[in-house]
Amino acid sequence: MKIIYKFFLKQILKLDNWLYKVISYLAIKTEGGLHPKHRLIGYHKFFLDNISPDNKVLDIGCGNGALAYDLAGKAKLVVGIDIVLENILKAKTKYNRSNIKYIVGDVTKDLNGERFDVIILSNVLEHINDRIGFLKKISTLADKYLIRVPMFDRDWLPLYKKELDVEWRLDKTHFIEYTEDSFKQEMAIAGYKINNYIIKFGEIWVIVIKNEKNKNSW
CB 152 within 8 A of CB 160: no
> What is the tens place of the pLDDT at every residue in 32-65?
989 999 999 999 999 999 999 999 999 999 999 9
Structural domain includes residue 10: no
Domain count, the chain: 1
* 6: Cβ contacts below 8 Å, ≥ 6 apart: 164
CB 100 within 8 A of CB 80: yes
Residue 113 has pLDDT above 90, yes or no: no
If one counts every other C-beta atom within 10 angstroms of the C-beta of residue 10, the result is: 14
Structural domain includes residue 152: yes
C-alpha triplet 210, 102, 54: angle, nearest 5°: 55
Structural domain containing residue 82: 37-210
Read off the pLDDT of each residue in 104-110 and give the average, rounded to a whole number: 93
Structural domain includes residue 111: yes
Give the CATH number, domain containing residue 128: 3.40.50.150
Structural domain includes residue 117: yes
Structural domain includes residue 218: no
94-105 burial string, b = 16+ CB within 10 Å, else e? ebbeeebebbee
Structural domain includes residue 150: yes
Confidence (pTM): 0.91
Structural domain includes residue 136: yes
CA distances from 28 to 36, 103, 162 (A): 7, 24, 28
Residue 213 has pLDDT above 90, yes or no: no
CB 95 within 8 A of CB 42: no
